[in-house]
Amino acid sequence: MSHTLFCPKCGMRLPEGEDVRFCPNCGTLLVPQAVQAKMIIAEFHYWDYGEFSRTAMETRPEIKTEELENIAREFNVKVEAKKGTATYSPLGTIGYRLPKYRRVDIQVSGERPDAVKTCVGRIFLLYGIPDEVPAALLGGRKAGKKIIDELLREFSASQS
């Protein structure tokens, strides 16, 4: 909802009587920052090795959507898991006869940092440390990356 008749960035007159969140001319967000909910997004990836493991010592349970949904409900956050299209072969093109592994992208999002952190921590306990954590530079993804990095430090300290 707009609280001003003119866009603070470009000065365009805003339509009256409408709930305008963005300036129709320049796209500037018109809702005060305090009104916006800050969503924290923690994103990480596992390689789905199926019945194979990266090493003879390591096994990872199958990543199940139902388990992730139960964890999400418990902490009142949203968890999305998608089987990615990226594949990995341990020997590159030479290993064309070896199994190729699909990446599973997991994203945990919520407004409360403690809930997101606890949910991500529970997923780490269930499936292990993620194989990849993408870079995050801005906003909610940066906050989520910070939570993941903190959890990874805690996990590595507990392993020592």
pLDDT (tens digit per residue) in 73-125 = 999 999 998 876 555 555 545 544 555 567 888 999 998 899 999 999 999 99
As a whole number of angstroms, the distance between CA 154 and CA 158 comes to 6
8 Å CB contact between 42 and 111:
no
Q: Considering only the C-alpha atoms of the chain, give the largest distance between any 2 of them, rounded to a whole number of Å.
A: 67
This prediction's pTM:
0.64
As a whole number of angstroms, the distance between CA 29 and CA 15 comes to 15
Domains of the chain: 1-35 (no CATH), 40-159 (3.30.70)
**Mean pLDDT, residues 64-68:** 89
Q: Which of 94, 151, 98 is nearest to 123 (CA)?
A: 151
